[in-house]
Amino acid sequence: MSVEPLFTTNGELVKGPLLLIPQTFGDDRGFFYESWNQRRFHADLIAAGTPTAEVDALQFRQDNHSRSNRGVLRGLHFQLPPEPQGKLVRCSVGAIFDVAVDLRLGSPSFGQWVAAELDAQNHHQLWVPVGFAHGFLTLSDVAEVQYKASGFWNRSCERSLRWDDPTIAIEWPLERASVETPSLAEKDAVAPLLDVLKAGGEVF
């Protein structure tokens, strides 16, 4: 497993999110790879600058699995305390454009986004730590996404951020999904802008 930091489109490092690239062993029978190893994952987080005490306290509490059609955009989602969630995301079928947005007040990258393409061929995974909103756009006819969450789902803590907030200006590759407007859940279509969340104290 190798680990890479993520940068904005302007080349600025956003501390926290990481791209995990597993070592894959393949032959004419198929392939094998280790999708998660607690010891290695914790070591990678510490090497990337995450405080040791924070890493030691990290436990995955829930696994989720979604199936989405081409052009579906899920997000941008996050949970506030007392049940915040970090997410380790992978795509086992198809391909997605996966995004994390920094919602940490005081962070030099507050309101900025990073992204990675995750698909069934590259086996890459995106670590989205607590303090970030997460969402993805389905690029293939069908995509199945699995992620480990460090907190239980909690309706009262769950929040959404507008996918097309102009102050964030995510460069969603809609043309690759063959859509002009993505397919959204009702709650995501009416999600608030970042300025509204910030004014209401609903950021980190």
Q: What is the CB neighbour count within 10 angstroms for residue 147?
A: 24
Catalytic residue selected from 123, 124, 134, 147: 147
Torsion sign across C-alpha atoms 200, 193, 134, 168:
negative
Residue 51, CA atoms < 13 Å, CB-side half-sphere: 3
Domain spans in the chain, listed from the N-terminal domain onward? 2-199
Mind listing the pLDDT tens digit of every residue in the chain (204 residues)? 899 999 999 999 999 999 999 888 989 999 999 998 999 999 999 999 999 999 999 999 999 999 999 999 999 999 999 999 999 999 999 999 999 999 999 999 999 999 999 999 999 999 999 999 999 999 999 999 999 999 999 999 999 999 999 999 999 999 999 999 999 999 999 999 999 999 999 999
My answer on whether omega of the bond before 182 falls inside 30° of 0, hence cis, is no
Q: Is 33 a catalytic residue?
A: no
Alpha carbons 118 and 131: distance in angstroms, whole number: 21
Give me the pLDDT at residue 1, please: 82
The catalytic position among 42, 65, 77, 124 is: 77
CATH number for the domain running over 2-199: 2.60.120.10
3-state secondary structure of 39: helix
Of 148, 57, 161, 44, the C-alpha closest to 102 is 161
pLDDT of residue 126: 98
Q: Is 134 noted as a catalytic residue in this protein?
A: no
Count Cβ neighbours within 10 Å for each residue of 28-50 and write b for 16 or more, e otherwise: eeeeeeeeeeeeebeebbeebeb
Query: Which long-range contacts does 10-14 make (Cβ < 8 Å, 24+ apart)?
Result: 12/109, 12/112, 13/109, 14/100, 14/102, 14/109, 14/112, 14/113, 14/114
What does the pLDDT read at residue 8?
Answer: 96
Model's pTM, two decimal places? 0.95
